[in-house]
Chains A and B, each alone.
Chain A
């Protein structure tokens, strides 16, 4: 009798272990897409102005992301609390989700992560710099809506601080690009006033270093902010399935693997997005790049100091647009910027839809099989988008081609990344 129960228990533990393993792999995959999706935020301007060679830029950014991820020893275990109610304030998972080895919670996390990854890959394919944090939050919100209903989502916080979907996602998304844009526009405008008439041998070299320095700061801040989110999600899954019990610390292997995943992703470089941000929005020169990255770095750091959640992507994009507005005679391609803003608007609901659909599929099939089906769907979708990206390839060799003069990609004129065929 006891032996039978023991056997039954072991069987269940093994089942949850499979789901847990899928969650960990998927979380690291999300972290990887987070890395390559966001390389552009730090490095697009330096690549566009040739302050750094493309490969050097992504390598530098990757290393700084790795270092940044390890600097973030602050526990980010409550990361999901911003938008959904699956944890309590200490970071421990809600007790009602822990039946059956925590598989209810694991499925929500898995479905949410898949939503985030699919949206990240799709926007990368289209060359659109959308926010990875919004994709993750959107996926989680969608999966939670499907799994727990409307009450499971933290829409508006409890009124004591900036919180919830509105406070942590929607408002910062509207406000932060405007702030970053204003800062970069002011910086660019004054810099051009100051350096007019100064010999190029001084400005070229000087602003080259200004750009490298400010871009490095953005990379480091990115590693600290974004790698934490994945670490928090993985640790939550470990706690829910009973493999970790400490809400004060994150297991070392989680920290190392998340740091390596985001760094590798950054090094891979999302060339399509780098191209849009560096060449598509406006034509950037070194003083503008310096102003844009300094503005981005300052706004990101000031915000995290003040607990004002924002997306690195929105800030970087806002500051690039601002640097285009601030330079006398520069033009901003508003069609490109508009398409980007549209992508920002639909990031949350789109990732949410995928997250919700994945939850329903996983729940309908049920158990380990359900999780495996969801994971397989993710692999298929990723594979399809990767294959699609091979036509009209953008890489470190053609990332800087002229935006307007380039031949339309073989994939069709609907793609917003005009890349010359190589």
Chain B
């Protein structure tokens, strides 16, 4: 039965990481899209057409910031794949991700 223990132990870690990155990043992305739309002043548009609204630069800026966060997250993911292939791993123990030799 030891295998079941190891599996469940790994499973909740994968679930947490999956929720943080796999659900968290797309949620940030969706927030970014909403911010962009809000920044362009058209968040309340319905099927009848575009009602011109006031531009909100803060919304646009926030939108692009959120996209940047998502892109950084993806780049970290890529670094992770590449690094582990070359004998390095991403270390998050100092909060700032750093590459260390395995």
Contact = CB atoms under 8 A, between A and B. Distances in A.
A302 B3 contact: no
A231 B22 CA distance: 29
B102 to A, nearest CB: 9
A220 B78 contact: yes
B57 interface: no
A167 B21 CA distance: 25
B6 A162 contact: yes
A287 B23 contact: no
B50 A199 contact: yes
A204 to B, nearest CB: 10
B31 A167 contact: no
Interface string B39-60: 0101111100010000000000
Interface string A154-194: 00110101111011000110011001101110110011001
A202 interface: yes
B22 A294 contact: yes
A218 B52 CA distance: 39
A297 interface: yes
Interface string A298-331: 1101111111100000000001000000000000
A358 interface: no
Nearest to A205: B33
A186 B74 contact: no
B6 A161 contact: yes
Interface string B1-14: 01110111011011
A202 B33 contact: yes
A137 B42 CA distance: 54
Contact of B33 (A72, A207, A319): A207
Contact of A187 (B3, B22, B80): B22
Nearest to B45: A199
A198 B13 contact: no
A74 B86 CA distance: 7
Contacts of B80: 301, 305
Interface stretch (A34-42, A43-51, A209-217): A209-217
A202 B3 CA distance: 47
Given A175-B11, A187-B26, A206 B36 contact: yes
A248 to B, nearest CB: 12
B30 A302 contact: no
Contacts of A72: 85
Interface residues of B, number: 47
A111 B4 CA distance: 30
B69 interface: no
A296 interface: yes
A182 B19 CA distance: 8
A389 interface: no
Contacts of B45: 197, 199
B84 interface: yes
A363 to B, nearest CB: 32
A184 B82 CA distance: 25
Contacts of A206: 29, 32-33, 36
Nearest to B40: A202
A161 B21 CA distance: 26
A162 B3 contact: yes
Contacts of A217: 74, 77-78
Given A182-B15, A298-B21, A167 B81 contact: no
A198 B37 contact: yes
B58 to A, nearest CB: 16
Interface string B66-93: 0000000010011011101111010000
B85 A224 contact: yes
Given A172-B7, A217-B78, A304-B84, 13 more contacts: A164-B3, A171-B3, A190-B27, A202-B33, A206-B32, A207-B33, A217-B77, A224-B81, A294-B21, A294-B25, A299-B14, A303-B14, A306-B14
Please list the 5 inter-chain residue pairs (A to B) with the smallest Cβ-Cβ separation, ordered nearest first: A298-B22, A302-B17, A187-B23, A167-B3, A295-B22
24 contacts: A71-B86, A171-B7, A179-B14, A182-B15, A183-B15, A183-B18, A186-B19, A190-B27, A191-B26, A194-B31, A197-B44, A198-B33, A202-B36, A202-B37, A206-B29, A206-B36, A224-B85, A290-B26, A291-B26, A294-B21, A294-B22, A301-B77, A306-B13, A308-B14
